[in-house]
């Protein structure tokens, strides 16, 4: 399955995840009484919205090519296997999850989400054209920064 995924597919998945993440963090910022949680959740929500815009723009610049498959349906089967553990079904689900937990529970969940996204991106980068890696590395770096910020925040509260 060498180069099965295209940068455009990874970016397409990330656009929705960033939108969902923005909804999660925005709701967490609204409902939290803890000043640090409010501040950092609001900042991450804004970063997620910025990432969505960035990834949408990057997506528009990517080459749209059909992936090479060893057998019919290989691409869809692999993509569905990678996405089956998505943390958020949609924006509403993301906001509801932020609402139902304590700050610590929500941040712990957010950290798991960001780590899962980072792991997914790292796995997907094995299957794209090496010429498209610089585009995806931006995404990886952004998600790694969220993991760092959330780890630090969890230690402070």
Which tens digits make up the pLDDT trace of 13-70? 778 888 999 999 999 999 999 999 999 999 999 989 988 888 788 778 766 666 667 7
pLDDT of 152 reads 95
Q: Where are the chain's structural domains?
A: 7-156
| pTM of the complete model beyond 0.85 | no
Rounded to whole angstroms, how far apart are CA atoms 10 and 118? 12
Q: Which CATH architecture has domain 7-156?
A: Up-down Bundle (1.20)
Give me the pLDDT at residue 84, please.
Answer: 61
Share of the chain above pLDDT 70, in %: 81
Q: Cβ(16)–Cβ(48) under 8 Å?
A: no
**CA pair distance 145, 51, nearest whole angstrom:** 12
| CA atoms of 145 and 139, how far apart (whole Å) | 10
């Amino acid at each position: 399955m060498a180069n099965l995924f295209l940068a455009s597919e990874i970016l397409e998945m990330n656009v929705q995840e960033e939108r969902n993440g923005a909804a999660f963090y925005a709701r967490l910022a609204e409902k939290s009484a803890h000043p640090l949680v409010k501040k950092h959740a609001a900042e991450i929500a804004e970063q997620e919205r910025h990432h969505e815009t960035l990834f949408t723009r990057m997506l528009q610049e990517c080459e749209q090519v059909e992936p090479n498959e060893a057998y019919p349906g290989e691409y869809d089967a692999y993509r569905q296997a990678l996405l089956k553990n998505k943390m958020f079904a949609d924006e509403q689900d993301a906001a509801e999850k932020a609402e139902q937990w304590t700050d610590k529970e929500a941040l712990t969940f957010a950290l798991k989400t960001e780590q899962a996204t980072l792991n997914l991106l790292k796995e997907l980068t094995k299957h794209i054209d090496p010429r498209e890696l610089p585009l995806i590395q931006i995404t990886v770096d952004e998600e790694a920064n969220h993991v760092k910020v959330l780890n630090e925040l969890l230690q402070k509260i």
